[in-house]
Amino acid sequence: MTYQSTIANLRKTIEGNGAPWNAIDAESAARMQIQNRFRTGLDIARYTAKIMREDMAAYDADPANYTQSLGCWHGFIAQQKLISIKKHFGSTKRRYLYLSGWMVAALRSEFGPLPDQSMHEKTSVPALIGELYTFLKQADARELGMMFRDLDAARERGDEVEAKRIETAIDNHETHVVPIIADIDAGFGNAEATYLLAKKMIEAGACALQIENQVSDEKQCGHQDGKVTVPHEEFLQKIRAIRHAFLELGVEDGIIVARTDSLGAGLTKSIAYTKEEGDLGDQYNSFLDCEEVDPAEIKNGDVFLSREGKLLRPKRLPSNLYQFRAGTGEDRCVLDCITSLQHGADLLWIETEKPHIGQIGGMVNRIREVIPNAKLVYNNSPSFNWTLNFRQQVFDAWEAAGKDVSGYDRARLMSVDYDGTELAAEADERIRTFQRDAAAQAGIFHHLITLPTYHTAALSTDNLAKRYFGDEGMLGYVKNVQREEIRQGIACVKHQNMAGSDIGDDHKEYFAGEAALKAGGTHNTMNQFEAA
């Protein structure tokens, strides 16, 4: 619906209600309606799920169409990210949001900072999704509000051509609302608990939920030790629970990302139920670390498996957990991925111990032998030491090719001493092209960084504190923050505008007319930035 048709429809509604509504201006009401395109979180989930489905199809046609996101732990961070993307690239196409369970635990829990072990309140996750979209919708309202002001100014000048151009721009306005991939951890309980939480997350606006195959009450960060996985059927119940939640709420295009931690997990809490040789439970149990037992040596409390006529004792730890055989991680990971896609998941997440395209691609190729269009969401994790990893990869490649590496100490390649070297330059180039290369060679549809804004907040705050509380004093803020905001065109240099002051003034004028007491007058100090 166009700007003018929206006005016309509202004018008809107002006129139809007669004298009681005579004071309502149709154009003002139309502007408010256009500024609030998404009425509910479900509106957002349906809209963004469609975008993701289209992007997935575009990637299948050409891996150059991969997608990206940054993890955001506050609505303001998400808002500034999308404003920046629109400013620098002109479009939000193929750029998403990521909501990290790690950052919810560390930054948004009422218990205070927590490790990534699903100890935070489950309701804090849908609450953050709602907050992220509240800030993105406000970014829409702000940007459209500025366009409305420009339209009024063009009309006052009598510039009909400019006024028509602005109306067309309003009709074609691109929203800041983009898809979010939201972390539901291991589901926070059984399948019913997963279903209930999934509904809350979808109602808040999430079109894509990422769930992992760890034991819910033993959950660990994917980059830490001590991970415990569950048999396939238990994980598949949760995938089905999420799909039911999407369908119940009418989000038929909803996306499920199945994450496996099997590559780095050596433990399971349960022996899988199996009815016949070779079924899924039997395949899971085949990875257990077992020893053959003489019936005469049975001990009190022993647990046994029968396989191929043999009596086997799985290795059981004092924690009551069972141990997998060493070296089975990749095989378990591949089976987990295939099984998840065969039972309703849409995308995969493989948590690796390093960012190595060859390793990732090797597993994806095995998965694609069964599921040809298998695609990954991949964590470009801050838990990786990217500099050291890629310098060592280059070192190893050079050494294998017979190139002289005697001038380098592989264990010390992180050292600043190597920053200006040929090896460092090649490593940086591999990092620069990692997303593009991995999308083409390793089936990665979506690249994300889980915790980037956690680290940028810490780094920028440290730099400001060092300068402001040191010899630079106020210059530490002015030179390195405000002056750069002005010169780089950072929108929130006008922080009153960013917080909605101008939107509030518009509403005051709509509601009170000439009696409106507006904040954006001559004496508003934000006017000092008009010439910026």
Q: Could you tell me the two tokens for 112?
A: 């205070």
Can you tell me the distance from the alpha carbon of 181 to that of 375, in angstroms, rounded to the nearest whole number? 15
527 neighbors 172 (Cβ within 8 angstroms): no
- Taking residue 417's Cβ as centre, other Cβ atoms within 10 Å add up to 12
Distance linking the first and last C-alpha atoms of the chain: 35
Separation CA 97–CA 51 (nearest Å)? 13
The neighbour count for residue 203, using CB atoms within 10 Å, is 19
Spatial CB neighbours of 397, under 8 Å, sequence gap ≥ 6: none
> Within the chain, what is the greatest distance between any pair of CA atoms?
101
**C-beta neighbour count of 532 within 10 angstroms:** 12
Write out the DSSP string of 75-141. Answer: HHHHHHHHHHHHHHHS--TTEEEEE-HHHHHHHS-TT-S--SSS-S-TTHHHHHHHHHHHHHHHHHH
* CA gap 34, 2 in Å, rounded: 9
Give the three-state DSSP class for 255. strand
- Token representation of residue 24: 């309502």
Q: CA separation (Å) from 462 to 75, 457, 475?
A: 22, 8, 15
Comparing CA positions, the residue from 180, 27, 20, 192 lying closest to residue 95 is: 180
Strand, helix or coil at 357? helix
Orientation of helix 232-248 relative to helix 329-342, angle to 10°: 30
9, two tokens? 């429809």
Q: Can you read off the two tokens belonging to residue 177?
A: 């609302």
Task: Give the Cα separation of 241 and 188 in Å (integer).
Answer: 13
Residue 337 known to be catalytic: no
Rounded (10°) CA dihedral 207, 212, 215, 219: -90
Which one of the listed residues 72, 207, 221, 337 is annotated catalytic?
221
Residues 69 and 206 sit within 8 Å (Cβ to Cβ): no
Judge whether 349 and 377 are in contact, CB under 8 Å. yes
- Please count the other Cβ atoms lying within 10 Å of the Cβ belonging to residue 37: 16
118 and 111 in contact (C-beta within 8 Å)? no
Residues tagged active-site: 221
